[in-house]
Chains A and B, each alone.
Chain A
Amino acid sequence: MRVLVIEDEPRLAENVARSLRESAGYAVDVAHDGQEGLFMAESNDYDAVLLDLMLPQMGGLQLLRRMRHAGQRAPVLVVTVRDEKESVVALLNAGADDYLTKPFDLGELLARTKALIRRGKGHPSPVLVVGDLELNTVDRSVRRGGRPISLTAMEYRVLEYLAHRPKAVVSKTELLEHLYDYNWEKFSNVIEVYISGLRRKLDDGSTHQLIHTLRGQGYILQD
């Protein structure tokens, strides 16, 4: 998953980004003002956007409206110091999906971000199920047929993305875009490595494979 953090307070942005990377295994981009934030949100396909309201160059509310106007569908979690009813209503009406008031709890921020991503992809439950595969997004554990499978951090991130979009063809570029921050081009050859590692661990002791390759198009996760 790839998340955009738009926050002008550098240390807060850094802490949030670090937490998302370490605890959720997301790729995180940081923008420090409204204009940069809007540019990044419009030029990349993010799985979630964390937006501070008080921003230089362009306010968060305006950014949000322009993002939605441009057809950006990524779920947006607004971080604000105001918790008056009117401003919350204005936020939700402008296209925000959730909000959090400062000073927030990092754990809560993580949980809300995960939930937003999940629901953005049409999954109400935090446990994703594909055939006999179970992926728990809360504690990041994976089981197949009740058997726990131990994955590396990168393998888990690939599988989590695929599990969020079961039965859909996911191109290698799409995977790269959502698993790495803006430097993703550098990593173009590693996807095959993770996929083969995943296949080996998932299909061990099973009669049929879960990850299928469509040559020239990408990968599909289905029973």
Chain B
Amino acid sequence: MDGINVADGGTNRSSIKRWLITIVVLSQTLLAAGLLVTGILYTRRQMLSTLDNHIQAHAMSVAALVRYTEAANGTLYFDGSLVPPSVDPSRPDWYAVWTEQSGLLTRSANWPAGFEIPLNGPDHWSFQRASIGYRGLRLFRVPVLDREEGSAFHPQTLTIVYASPTTRLDQQVQHSGFYIAISSLLLLAVTIPLALWGVRRGLLPLQELAERAALVSTQNWELRLPEDVQHVKELRPLTESMKTMLDRLRHSFDQQREFLGNSAHELKTPVAVLKSTLQSLLQRPRTLEEYRAGIEHSLEDLERLDQLLQWILRLARAEQWARGALRRDLEVIDITATCEDAIERIRPLADGRNTTVQLSKNGPVPFRADPDDLQLIWINLLENAVRYSPPGGSVEVAVSWGNTGGAQIIFEDHGAGIDPAHLPHIFERFYRGDPSRNRATGGFGLGLAIVKALVEAYGGMITADSTPGRGTRMTVVLPASR
């Protein structure tokens, strides 16, 4: 069998095909057996009913042979010369007739000695005698059919018992049982291969699906399904979930690739600087001072490269959390308190720029999180707000309960604002308003990307509103603590 390799692989693996075939064969065999039993029972019942009718007719014929004598005193006699042939011509029937007044009137010659007639039960009954099956009939109070002529009428009733062997009936039932069995076997011989073919045929789309799925790779994400697979209703949930899974995988893969590309791209410039410094040092013999200056410059550049790498790693971790790759044990902390801590930590920078930072709070706001993550978010947002505020300006932080039952944290500055052209992109990694790597602001363009990834890792969202010349407002909304 060129079955499905996926399922046929090992002996102890379960095989859908084997299972289906077992079910089909078993149910067909059961069907055939049921048909045989029902057929036999039904035939027997029908034939027994026919036999009963025959026996009844014969018993009535026997009754018709009971006549009144000429004596007109109600005496009866049995006209034995006209007894009808037995139901089964090759096996004699028994009969006996009793009259009301004088008891036994007649009985057939083969009436067995000591045969007890059951007094209760149905009129027709079956019994065994000398290992031969019989069907009997008891008729009570049968009126005498012959009319007595005369002045004094003494009507009498009869009791008639008639029995006939069922040997022929049993043989006929056996025959028909045999025919039913033969035809069932013949049908099985035809239907089982048909069912097997059907099972194999029905499972073919599954095999085709497996083959198509094997063609999917990181170069080719598309799961191309032939028509016959697409139209299989039972495969629909599987193909649908495969497609969604592939989409998710592809998205995640693209993101990773983009992240890797972006990072490599960002690393090229600092590496170029470092390389050029070292190469130009080697181009000709230098004085000791020149070497020292060159090494110092290289160290500075390496420092910056190192910082960039750390930011990149931080972002990678944050994005991993955002995708739910890592669930950590979190504790319930107070958002207001973490904001106060962050403001304390940003104080030196703010003081240096003569900027005030004000916090408006509304009691503790509990949230389940890692305090370091929240610190990182607040400090990044605060640093931006302070940096882009004019000297002597002010930054406002407000912690409150949002409409959705979660926390809402707003950071607002009154600086130059963000150009509307840049606003939609500020959360993109490595995005800088200025296309150059501007050292003045010291940024790598990763701070807001990390903030966004972390906020999203906690199921929250961040939005930026800005009016050029008026300032910027960053709103973080965190969901109700789970």
Contacts and interface: CB of A to CB of B under 8 A. Distances in A.
Interface of A: 8-9, 11-12, 15-16, 18-19, 22-23, 33, 54-56, 59, 81-82, 101-107
A18 B294 CA distance: 12
Given A22-B283, A81-B268, A102-B272, A8 B277 contact: no
A54 B273 contact: no
A181 to B, nearest CB: 18
A16 B436 contact: no
6 tightest CB-CB pairs across the interface, nearest first?
A103-B272, A15-B276, A56-B436, A102-B272, A106-B279, A103-B271
A103 B275 contact: yes
A23 B271 contact: no
A56 B434 contact: yes
A50 to B, nearest CB: 12
Nearest to B301: A11
B434 A16 contact: no
B277 A15 contact: yes
A81 B435 contact: no
Contacts of A9: 269, 272-273, 437
Contact of B436 (A8, A15, A104): A8
A103 B437 contact: no
B297 interface: yes
B270 to A, nearest CB: 9
Contacts of B279: 15, 19, 105-107
Interface of B: 265, 268-269, 271-277, 279-280, 283-284, 297, 301, 434-438
Contacts of B297: 11
A54 B277 contact: no
Nearest to A32: B436
Given A12-B276, A18-B280, A103-B275, 4 more contacts: A11-B277, A15-B277, A54-B269, A54-B435
Given A11-B297, A82-B265, A103-B271, A23 B435 contact: no
Nearest to A8: B436
B290 to A, nearest CB: 10
B309 to A, nearest CB: 15
B436 A33 contact: yes
Contacts of A104: 272, 275-276
Given A54-B437, A56-B436, A15 B269 contact: no
B297 to A, nearest CB: 6
Contacts of B301: 11
Contacts of B276: 11-12, 15-16, 19, 103-104, 106
A113 to B, nearest CB: 14
A30 to B, nearest CB: 13
Nearest to A15: B276
A78 to B, nearest CB: 14
Given A19-B280, A105-B279, A54 B272 contact: no
A33 B440 CA distance: 14
Contacts of B277: 11, 15
A12 to B, nearest CB: 5
B302 to A, nearest CB: 12
Given A11-B297, A15-B277, A54 B271 contact: no
A88 to B, nearest CB: 15
Contact of A103 (B268, B284, B438): B268
Contact of B438 (A12, A15, A56): A56
Contacts of B269: 9, 12, 54, 81, 102-103
B436 to A, nearest CB: 4
A23 to B, nearest CB: 6
A15 B280 contact: yes
A12 B297 CA distance: 11
Contacts of B435: 54-56, 59
28 contacts: A8-B436, A8-B437, A9-B269, A11-B273, A11-B276, A15-B276, A15-B277, A18-B280, A19-B280, A22-B283, A23-B283, A33-B436, A54-B269, A54-B436, A54-B437, A56-B434, A56-B435, A82-B265, A101-B268, A102-B269, A102-B271, A102-B272, A103-B269, A103-B271, A103-B275, A104-B275, A104-B276, A106-B276
